[in-house]
Amino acid sequence: LIRAQESSSSSWRKNQKWTIRGGVYCCYNIFAHVDVRVEVQIPGLPGVMAAAVDRNNEPVELTREIWEGTQLSAMLRALRPPPRVPALLAVPLFMKPVVVETFVKLATKNFALGEQLGLWSGLGCGTHALCELFCGYLIDSRRLKLAIEVFSSLQSLYPTIVLHVARAYVKRQQVEAALNVLSRSLRVRPEDVPVLHYEAKTLLKHGRCLELAVSAAELAVQLMPSIWQFWVTL
């Protein structure tokens, strides 16, 4: 059936006129744990209806916070598109500057909620999922100056984000600046394991202070021996 629908030569589609009468958009708000649905009817009164339910299927009021969390949830999913399967179309979202600006605004505003998402086991640099996706996008898209400014502004809220500040500096070929911010952070939080691990990796990659690199890698393993990536670095 899917092949027939996608085939322009399919006999069952010939000489048929198709009219869209409506549609439903669904998005799960990963922060508030509610399912938001928007139904559009063409024509219809009202033309657009929106509702939200929680995990117990109880109705939830659609506040501004719910809408913003839902929009941010959709943007985060767009950064990790699903594998390609028939009849599933993943539309690129970050094609316009205004979308990027909105993403930065929403991510920074709701950054504290990222703790609810927890860490990605075996993925990323050891920060929570919102931090990984947000920081990864700005760095990978080469918005490095913006990344350093925004990440630095969030450091008091989430100190471990300093490792992404360092990542941005490394991308700009400013290795010394990266090592300086890592060192300053570890003087305040000497047992910040992700920062220790990234410091070790950076020192090893650029051939700086190898003894310090080994010490940082050893301490990271001692503090969190269950993470296999730390053992690989050591």
- Is residue 64 over pLDDT 80? yes
Q: Quote the percentage of the chain above a pLDDT of 70.
A: 89
Range of the domain at 196: 174-233
198 in any annotated domain: yes
Q: What pLDDT, on the 0 to 100 scale, is given for residue 15?
A: 60
- Whichever domain contains 217, its CATH number is 1.25.40
More confident residue, 193 or 10: 193
27 in any annotated domain: no
221 in any annotated domain: yes
- Is residue 222 over pLDDT 50? yes
Q: How confident is the model at residue 146 (pLDDT cuts 50, 70, 90)?
A: very high
* Beta strands across the sheet bearing 34-41: 22-29, 34-41, 48-54
More confident residue, 159 or 86: 159
229 in any annotated domain: yes
- If one counts the domains in the chain, the total is 1
Q: What pLDDT, on the 0 to 100 scale, is given for residue 8?
A: 57
**Mean predicted lDDT score pLDDT of the chain:** 86
Q: How confident is the model at residue 143 (pLDDT cuts 50, 70, 90)?
A: very high
189 in any annotated domain: yes
Rounded to whole angstroms, how far apart are CA atoms 66 and 212?
Answer: 46
Q: What pLDDT, on the 0 to 100 scale, is given for residue 81?
A: 77
- Is residue 123 over pLDDT 80? no
Least confident of 92-96, 117-121, 174-178: 117-121
More confident residue, 13 or 101: 101
Q: What pLDDT, on the 0 to 100 scale, is given for residue 153?
A: 95
Q: What pLDDT, on the 0 to 100 scale, is given for residue 150?
A: 96
pLDDT in tens, 154-211: 999 999 999 999 999 999 999 999 999 999 999 999 888 889 999 999 998 888 888 8
